[in-house]
Structure 1
Amino acid sequence: MPGHTPSSAPGIKGAVPALVLGLILAFAVVLAYWQAPLNGFHFDDEANIVDRAAIHLTELSLAGLWRAAREGLLPSRPLSNVSLAIDWWRGGGSAATFIRSNIVLHLLMALAVWSCVRRLLLLQGQPRAPALGLAWGAALLWALHPIQVQAVTYVVQRMAELSALFSLLSVLAYVRGRTERRLAWLVLSLVTFLLSVAAKENGWITPALWWLAEFGCCRGQASKLLEHPASRLLFALPFLLLLYVVVDIASGQGPLAQSGMLSYRGRDFTMAERLLTQPRVIVFHLSQMLWPLPDRFSVEHDFLKSTGLFSPATTLAALLGLLAWCGTGLVALLHQRWRLAGFWLLWVPVTLVVESSVVPLEMVFEHRMYLPSVGLFGLAATLPTVWLPGTGHRKVALPLVLLVAIGLILATRERVEVWRDNASLYADAVRHAPNSGRAWNGLGAAQLQAGDIEAAERSLTRAMALDPTLSAPPEKLGVIVLDRGERQKAGELLWRAVRLERSHSALNHLGEWMLQGDDVDGAVRAFSQAVVLAPWLPAYRWNLALALERQGNCAEAREQWQAYLERETDPAGLEEVRRHLEETGASSHCN
């Protein structure tokens, strides 16, 4: 049965401290991220926003929003796509508009953390004032921690923010629905869960958080959680599902194994290596949380993959440490006094299970701690109530929180400045990860964009030497030497890039090389493949149309020009193509 319901909301007098604390929280977040709107777009922002015509909303309409939802780069995330399209409409494509919205979402998430931690402390039987203060301190430090910078200032991580926000709200609504026995809250929990999934696939973990809340929060201080058979079955359910997933993947014959979601093609690590490495990655992120010096954060890390339990030697220790963390959480969950601490302990591994297990994502990315880190600060707010059940902790809590908050603000502001543009971001990345081909490739791309060709060539050459499996460095180097007139070397580099990965950009550049060498048929084939892979990019339509005209295929060329007109938003480009079509419309020759 649900535990006791906290008393009703405080009156006006009781709401004043909460309002003051809320204003302080908002001020601190704004102060920490004050310079963030000066930052620009980065890597995945290009494909998801800058180059995605469906996101370029010029008039707010249901048809435009529907198109953005369906035709975003990731149509499985319609809510995120719609929010990005609205920001494009609001700011005309300015990165500042997107980043300001991310900051607002981050503040809303902080308020949700405050509300959730406070609610759970009240359910534990804590007095209203200490619960309010402890929860506020947890939310403040969570919001200001520099590990959140990647999620807030990297625009496309709007998806992680939205998913985390709605997932947390769903858990909060579930707890209220169960403890207050009100159907409306349970319906709201379901709705916010669906919104979380519509923002990012991580939202599917929310039912596991309901389960965790059921046993960690909603059953009050019952001494025996598993007294009834139904309770024992419900408690065993996620472990049975986990066993099913393990059997599915290990057999290679189950729906998950056959779905293609777990394909490691193009990765330089296997599933086993990822599973062995992730405990070390998680320990590393936990160490970042505990010791958040700005220099410990980066968009790239030189992280040695684990190839066995003792290679490197810390692999087994990290795995045992993670198992001990989970075991401690389960034991605490079943202990009457430590139940809420167990809830927060298990929150971390449960929310990491999607991105830190078998899904073939990059090994390390700090934004993955956005929702999991809530558990650490919830635990920090809960432990004083267990270890120091009296009032002794209150005298030192506020000064300590404020002192830590000042340090976190300074660290976050420093990290925000690093994310100013790709040049500053990757200059920092190669300093942290000098052996990362990805980092040097990113720096080379930034230098190329800035017009520093010599520096770009050096960085890209180093990237290619460090990681010969990357297709981007030879592609960019091919473009550089082609512009210098070194056609043979350019061809070698571009063909190498295409063989490594048939990306749309590599195929497009190969087509340009072919067209310059009068291999019109080859250019048409390359441009056609680029269009198939990235049909939303108008530049590829332009190139294909020109190649088709040189081939004498006027009808198909006109189709590509029309497709260009439907996707391009640049007025100069639109006018040039319309004029070209008018000039060639009455002629039997289109070239």
Structure 2
Amino acid sequence: MSNIVKTERRDFLCTFLLVSVFIFQIYSNTLSSSWHLDDNDNILQNTYIQINSLDLSSFANTLISGADWSAPKFYRPVSCVTFALNWYFGQDDPTGYHIVNISIHIIIAFFLYLVILQFMQIVDATQEKSPKHHFVALLGATLWAVAPIQTQAVTYIVQRMTSLAAMFTIFAIYSYLKARTEEKYIRWGVFCVLFFIAGIGSKENAIMLPASLLLLEFSFFRHHVSKQKIGWIVVASSAALLAGLLAAHFLLGKNLLNIFELSRLIDSYEDRSFTLNERILTEPRIILMYLSQIFFPLVSRLSLVHDIQLSTSIFAPWNTLPAIAIILALIVLSFIFLKKYPIFSFPILFFFLNHVVESTILPLEIVFEHRNYLPSFFLFVPVSFLIAQAIYTPNRLSFVGRFAIIAGTVCFLVISGHATYTRNLAWANEGTLWTDGIQKAPSSPRAAGFLGRWHQKNGKIKEAYFYFQKSLQNSHLAPTPEQSQLAALQALGEIHYTLDQYEQSLLYFDQCLALKKDNMYCLTNRAQSYIQLNLLQKALNDAEALVAKYPSYLFGKYLAASVSYQLGELTKSQQYMQEIIIKSLDKPKGLYLMGLILLKYKSYQNALFFLQKAVNLWPSNVEYWITLSAVYYFDNDYKRAEKILADIFDKHPISTIKDSINEIEKHDFHPLVINYIVNIINSHINIVFSSLE
């Protein structure tokens, strides 16, 4: 008996290693892939997950680290804790995050193999250790794992939320099967419940687990239990589903209970470019598109964005009604043949069941490929079963026929793996991802906007402007049109601002604020444009509007303090600066401004305190150093003032020094001070020329 157990464990270990090597190979080119889209809000700018120690208080903060981190709330805690651990060990280096994501994918593939193996042993109990069972399980799990459609859930870092929910779901299914087939059912039942909770804590679509287990029960165990037990199973599954729904609603802040009130559900579509009816009619076409992407692994049809024509009725476009009919037929036929052919029916019903959360009535975006990660678990089982039947059934096919099927299967695996590897190349950086997106979805305002940002970041202003204009023109096609329009207007205004075209930038910021009067970014940018145009009172109005609307926004207070200072309203400026300093002593601009304010009050020692901190934080800023030397001059410490100016001359070109002197002249320093600084610099120039002679 012990030898059998050892052999079985060795076989499982070999299977795990085989699957691991294959998966890691096709995902090996993702380790240096950059951050994308929602990675920014959820990780890079989310201070709640950016922990520096492993104490309890740090982990407690991660539990409220939602993407809207300006208003923290309990949010997908399991996923966020894993991001926090990644941050602790590697900060913003994406390599560690990718390693974890690939590892999760490998673990899921292995447990999917174990679950399919149990399915086969239940369906065909006469052959408990049949090689055919292992073949079906291994091939079904591998085909799922290497399918290129899974790249969005694995390579897109933030979609770890999706893969974690899937991982805990397959753990729970495995535990449930163990509870139904082994004596220690209580232990496995407890594991199943714990995995269900962890799944919901990763992402809300794990909420469908109780319904999935109910489907599994009726598919594989129906003839083993009494009607009374079936009743209890239905009640327990319904209670678990309701508990998960309430947990997601009240603990995770998801308004899932809106689905029970039609008016509130319709209102939730207010910001979308589509209605509830349009989404319901369009999703059947999307589901069929997903299925085609799963079974026909063409990289050319995979993208983070898609141009989708909405269905406005069952006849427009023409393929709406056929899509609905095909899906209904698949579901009905699967129910009819569920008892007789569970290996074929269960995967289809599981697929549609687990699309209920993200592909039906909730006001989510129309299409995302990662939504198939969990639902597609068992889709390749029927294919694997048919291949196994052909190979392992004696006299079914000739040697040539079996060889052809085996060769075809191997070729399909290689093609799928290569397609996955190729698809991952698009995720290398934002430029490659959004170039790929705009090629496959030319009308996508999201692809145009992000590609514009990429070009802007890389100094290609002309290209950036083109794509921002394109994003603005197509903003009505975005899932959230107003948000897309605001982003494009802001980006166009920023480009004009960076080109010192402040009047043109105001045109875009004005449009942005006409659309949403209290938009933080456009108010900030318009205030800065007003400052550049010396329209200080208008700048102060915008800055004070920022302070009133966003009291925790420190840069808004800094703008208000800075403009108040320039308008000579020192008391008001000082009040704003004191609020900033209380909350932050690590912002050089704020510290510098506080030093200038104190200088106006002739509080030289206090001014020196803040200015010294400012230059320590920003040692390359010549203006800060010259101002510091001026304050030493005011404080009669001429030796330090001259030493600072000498160091500036030694380290920086004359042109930079000249520009910095022009800047500090704006602070209304006494002419004697400016003359003193210029004379010191000139004396150093004379010394240099004298040494050359």
TM-score (norm 2): 0.74
Distance 1:504 1:86, change over 3 A: farther
- Distance, in Å, in 1 between the alignment partners of 2:23 and 2:113 is 14
Percent identity, please: 26
8 A Cα contact 2:258 2:264, kept in partner: no
- Distance, in Å, in 1 between the alignment partners of 2:91 and 2:531 is 35
Q: Match for residue 265 of structure 1?
A: 270
Q: Match for residue 135 of structure 2?
A: 133
Q: Match for residue 112 of structure 1?
A: 111
Distance 1:270 1:511, change over 3 A: farther
Q: What is the CA deviation profile of residues 296-317 of structure 1, one whole-angstrom value per residue up to 9, with x for unaligned ones? A: 1111111111111011000011
Contiguous gaps of at least 5 residues in structure 1 = 1-6, 245-251, 566-572
8 A Cα contact 1:141 1:405, kept in partner: yes
Secondary structure (helix, strand or coil) at the match of 1:214 reads helix
Alignment-mate amino acid for residue 203 of structure 2? K
Q: Match for residue 496 of structure 1?
A: 511
Q: Match for residue 63 of structure 1?
A: 57
- Distance, in Å, in 2 between the alignment partners of 1:267 and 1:254 is 17
8 A Cα contact 2:150 2:373, kept in partner: yes
8 A Cα contact 2:211 2:237, kept in partner: no
- Distance, in Å, in 2 between the alignment partners of 1:374 and 1:9 is 32
* 1:547 maps to 2:560: yes
- Distance, in Å, in 1 between the alignment partners of 2:117 and 2:205 is 24
- Alignment partner of 1:166 out of 165, 168, 181: 168
* 1:429 maps to 2:444: no
* 1:26 maps to 2:52: no
Deviation at residue 406 of structure 1 after TM alignment: 1.1
**What is the 5 A alignment of 1:123-202?**
123-125=122-124, 127=127, 128=129, 129-180=131-182, 182-202=185-205
Deviation at residue 479 of structure 1 after TM alignment: 0.5
Q: Match for residue 675 of structure 2?
A: none
* 1:103 maps to 2:102: yes
- Distance, in Å, in 1 between the alignment partners of 2:544 and 2:559 is 13
Deviation at residue 61 of structure 1 after TM alignment: 2.0
Alignment-mate amino acid for residue 450 of structure 1? N
Q: Match for residue 275 of structure 1?
A: 280
Q: Match for residue 92 of structure 1?
A: 91
Q: What is the CA deviation profile of residues 348-377 of structure 1, one whole-angstrom value per residue up to 9, with x for unaligned ones? A: 011111110111111111111110111312
Deviation at residue 88 of structure 1 after TM alignment: 0.9
Deviation at residue 330 of structure 1 after TM alignment: 1.5
- Distance, in Å, in 2 between the alignment partners of 1:228 and 1:308 is 43
* 1:47 maps to 2:50: no
**What is the 5 A alignment of 1:85-484?**
85-125=84-124, 127=127, 128=129, 129-180=131-182, 182-219=185-222, 221-222=223-224, 230=231, 256-257=261-262, 263-333=268-338, 335=339, 337-383=340-386, 390=393, 395=402, 399-468=407-476, 469=481, 470=484, 471-484=486-499
* 1:17 maps to 2:11: yes
8 A Cα contact 1:56 1:93, kept in partner: no
Q: What is the CA deviation profile of residues 54-109 of structure 1, one whole-angstrom value per residue up to 9, with x for unaligned ones? A: 12222222211111222342632111111111111111211122111111111111
Alignment-mate amino acid for residue 302 of structure 1? D
Q: Match for residue 4 of structure 1?
A: none
8 A Cα contact 2:285 2:319, kept in partner: yes
Secondary structure (helix, strand or coil) at the match of 1:170 reads helix
Alignment-mate amino acid for residue 560 of structure 2? A
Distance 1:388 1:413, change over 3 A: closer
Secondary structure (helix, strand or coil) at the match of 1:11 reads helix
Alignment-mate amino acid for residue 271 of structure 1? L
8 A Cα contact 2:276 2:363, kept in partner: yes
8 A Cα contact 1:175 1:218, kept in partner: no
Secondary structure (helix, strand or coil) at the match of 2:452 reads helix
- Alignment partner of 1:509 out of 522, 525, 530: 525
- Distance, in Å, in 1 between the alignment partners of 2:195 and 2:266 is 25
Contiguous gaps of at least 5 residues in structure 2 = 69-73, 246-256, 565-571, 608-666, 668-693
- Distance, in Å, in 2 between the alignment partners of 1:486 and 1:564 is 32
Alignment-mate amino acid for residue 43 of structure 1? L
Q: Match for residue 569 of structure 1?
A: none
Q: Match for residue 578 of structure 2?
A: 558
Distance 1:387 1:399, change over 3 A: closer
8 A Cα contact 1:39 1:95, kept in partner: yes
- Distance, in Å, in 1 between the alignment partners of 2:216 and 2:467 is 49
Q: Match for residue 547 of structure 2?
A: 528
- Distance, in Å, in 2 between the alignment partners of 1:47 and 1:277 is 29
Q: What is the CA deviation profile of residues 101-128 of structure 1, one whole-angstrom value per residue up to 9, with x for unaligned ones? A: 1111111111121111111111112533
Distance 1:553 1:578, change over 3 A: closer
Distance 1:315 1:89, change over 3 A: same
Q: What is the CA deviation profile of residues 196-235 of structure 1, one whole-angstrom value per residue up to 9, with x for unaligned ones? A: 111111121111112112211233x55x986988379769
TM-score (norm 1): 0.86
Distance 1:555 1:235, change over 3 A: closer
- Distance, in Å, in 1 between the alignment partners of 2:286 and 2:575 is 55
Deviation at residue 385 of structure 1 after TM alignment: 6.9
- Distance, in Å, in 2 between the alignment partners of 1:388 and 1:329 is 25
Deviates more, 1:395-404 or 1:476-485: 395-404
Q: CA RMSD in A?
A: 3.3
8 A Cα contact 1:544 1:557, kept in partner: yes
- Distance, in Å, in 1 between the alignment partners of 2:582 and 2:133 is 62
Distance 1:214 1:52, change over 3 A: same
Distance 1:201 1:227, change over 3 A: closer
Deviation at residue 11 of structure 1 after TM alignment: 1.8
- Distance, in Å, in 2 between the alignment partners of 1:330 and 1:504 is 53
Distance 1:234 1:345, change over 3 A: farther
Distance 1:494 1:575, change over 3 A: closer
Deviation at residue 186 of structure 1 after TM alignment: 0.8
